[in-house]
Each structure stands twice: as structure tokens, then as C-alpha cells.
Amino acid sequence: MQQAQKQQLPASLQKIVGAFQIVPDPMARYKQLLFYAAKLPKMAAEDHVPENKVEGCVSQVWVKPELRDDGRVYWTADSDSQLTKGLAALLVLGLSGCTPQEVLTVQPSFIEMLGLKQSLTPSRNNGFLNMLLKMQRLTLELVAASEA
């Protein structure tokens, strides 16, 4: 079942899921998240605005999409917590360069495939879900604005 789910993910997100699945130790996965946090491109301070803020997260998190001329969505994100920044980085790196349809069809259940439940508190897991849902809502808004 997990393999079938993995096949439905965009290639970049599949690669990230695969990288987490080969790490057996929850503490090592936690460290891997911090590694991803360091890879997250810097978000401009002026993008830390209410419309980009993810509600329902323990930490402050912002995500911002850009629909480029190639018809693909590119993301930036930031957080005041390194761990949450790592979670945001997974989504930014996994969903940047995807078509809007690819972003919208990512099922929240993919989060379980990462094997992070043991490493994260329930509120952080919920925050990760809220980040994905916010990114999908912003994608819908971008598509609607581009068609107007």
C-alpha cells in the first residue's frame, strides 16, 4: 500500500520520502529534519504576513507560493523553530516545481510514510498537516487568480 501511495507523489517528494524511509532510527530522522531546515532557502522578511501564515502550528510558520510562467508552483517558507523549519523544508523542496494539480493531489496520509510520528509531538504532526493544507489552499487561490 505504501509503495502505491509513494508512486502518486511528485518525484521530488518521492525522493524525500525515500530518504526518510531508509533511516531506521527516530533520532536520526529528527537530525535529518534539522539538515533539511538548513537547506531551506531564506524567505524575505516582507513575506511574513498574515496571508502567508500557517494557523494551527506550535511555532510561527509562513509559506508563500509563486506561480511562474512555466505553469508550475514554487515555494518559500520560514519558521521561528528549526524543527518546524525542517518540516516546512520537506514540503518546499518536495512541492516546488510541481504543477498545481500535483500539489493539490498530494494526500495528507503521505506524512505517515516519512516515519516521523515517533520523533514528533502530536501538535507538531498536526502543524505539518496544516502546512500541507495551507499550501494546497494557496495553490487553489493562485490558479483561480491566474484564470480570472
Phi first, then psi: give them for residue 66, nearest 5 degrees.
-140, 120
d(CA 53, CA 33): 21
On the question of pLDDT at 120 being above 90, the answer is: no
Catalytic residue among 13, 17, 33, 57: 57
State the pLDDT at residue 55.
95
CA-based nearest residue to 134, from 93, 106, 99: 106
CATH topology of domain 2-147: Sufe protein. Chain: A (3.90.1010)
Cα dihedral 144, 137, 76, 3 sign: negative
Q: Is 54 helix (H, G, I), strand (E, B) or coil?
A: coil
Above 80 in pLDDT, residue 4?
no
Residue 14 CA to residue 114 CA, distance in Å, equals 10
Residues linked to residue 66 through DSSP beta bridges, in sequence order: 74
Average pLDDT of the chain to the nearest whole number: 91
Give 8-63 pLDDT, tens digit per residue. Answer: 899 999 999 999 999 988 889 889 999 999 999 899 999 999 999 999 888 999 99
Asked if pLDDT for residue 98 goes beyond 70, the answer is yes
Q: What's residue 121's pLDDT?
A: 80
57 annotated active-site: yes
According to DSSP, the β-strands at 73-79 and 61-67 are antiparallel
2: pLDDT strictly greater than 70: no
Helices (H) and strands (E) in the chain, counts: 7, 2
pLDDT at res. 16: 95
Identify residue 129 by its one-letter amino acid code.
L
For the record, the C-alpha cell of 34 comes out as: 534539522
